Structure 1
């Protein structure tokens, strides 16, 4: 009886992964417009209603995953005396490094579509804001503030927005640079500000 929730969770994760793989294949081979819910469902061998249940917004297939909970947990596990900016750098850069190592083609395709497809870019802004709200709670707890404090919200949104912009820059310039290096440069810019060349 106690194994059933674990099995159910694993089955859900397997279904989500199948939908995501199908969407990426279709988008890579035929473009995002061709990756309709019906075609994704057929390629993933599930019903269109299953795709819609797991991903009510089609662009979320590209952009959302289960990493927000893990990011928050890793942020909370950082050393208590570490500056919030360095804590965010550590968890986000590590997540990107892992994605590039484990899913390099999907990561590059996601970045390309983010630049090319306005709906994907717009949805990314929304999902980044949702991630920011979640991580702001951890930042607030670490700094003894309220998660709704203006300073906490501004800080978290600024860091995540800057890291998103670094990813857009990477995608716009052919994805040839080292994305991890660009993210680290971004955090360094936030720390030191912009100086004249």
Structure 2
């Protein structure tokens, strides 16, 4: 999970049910989605470094100034994770008797199982882009730390502990690090649900080798 803090609370690229939006919000969401879709198409077609903001704007039929109202940079188009708010809601909806680890695993499975094929493909392409494009290499460390903070807060809310406690942050770091191993950047295969379940069992066993 990773996100653009300016991403709207509504989904873009998920099939998960969301609160009803007004006409203006739906129009903004369509524009945002079009920008991201056209950007990804250009990234794959001609390369990330070779694609300019002006080209993305033209392909999305918007002005460059409109592009910047939705994304502060070309980099943000690639790294913005619209699944974050959906994942947060899914984790919060898990039964209280589930362990934090199982709550996260079940939420992840539910969210990715709910994606439409085109949306799942978009997420796979986005993840592959982040992990294989040299210009985006520095993003990974920043996104990892941001994800750790987000997961730590969710764990704190679920357990009644503080998000900055060592054990809470260690749990969040272990979870994010372990889940990242399920992604194969060379093949472009993203979060494999069977691998996620296997990783969860491994973590729960105390990581015995």
TM over 0.5, yes or no? yes
1:2-48 deviation line (CA, Å, top 9, x unaligned) = xxx72222122111101101111101211111221111111011122
SS of corresponding position for 1:171: coil
Match of 1:187 in 2: 200
Q: Say whether 1:13 aligns with 2:60.
A: no
- Contact 1:75-1:87 at 8 Å conserved across structures: yes
* Structure-to-structure mapping, 1:80-159, within 5 angstroms: 80-99=96-115, 101-159=117-175
User: Which deviates the most, 99-108 or 20-29?
Assistant: 99-108
SS of corresponding position for 2:74: coil
Select the residue among 47, 60, 65 that pairs with 2:76. Answer: 60
* Aligned CA distance change for structure 1 residues 120 and 36 (closer, same or farther; 3 Å): same
- Contact 2:86-2:111 at 8 Å conserved across structures: no
- Contact 2:156-2:168 at 8 Å conserved across structures: yes
- Structure with the larger RCO, 1 or 2 (CA within 8 Å, 6+ apart): 2
* Aligned CA distance change for structure 1 residues 165 and 58 (closer, same or farther; 3 Å): farther
* Aligned CA distance change for structure 1 residues 91 and 177 (closer, same or farther; 3 Å): closer
User: Which deviates the most, 32-41 or 46-55?
Assistant: 46-55
* Structure-to-structure mapping, 1:169-180, within 5 angstroms: 170-172=184-186, 174-175=187-188, 179-180=192-193
- Contact 2:132-2:185 at 8 Å conserved across structures: no
Instruction: Count the aligned residue pairs.
Output: 188
Gap runs ≥5 in structure 1? none
TM-score w.r.t. length of structure 2:
0.78
Select the residue among 73, 93, 96 that pairs with 1:77. Answer: 93
Question: Using the alignment, how far apart are the partners of 1:65 and 1:176 within structure 2?
Answer: 17
Question: Using the alignment, how far apart are the partners of 1:24 and 1:177 within structure 2?
Answer: 16
Question: Using the alignment, how far apart are the partners of 1:141 and 1:178 within structure 2?
Answer: 25
Question: Using the alignment, how far apart are the partners of 1:100 and 1:125 within structure 2?
Answer: 29
Question: Using the alignment, how far apart are the partners of 1:171 and 1:46 within structure 2?
Answer: 32
* Aligned CA distance change for structure 1 residues 138 and 39 (closer, same or farther; 3 Å): same
TM-score w.r.t. length of structure 1:
0.82
User: Which deviates the most, 116-125 or 7-16?
Assistant: 116-125
- Contact 1:41-1:51 at 8 Å conserved across structures: yes
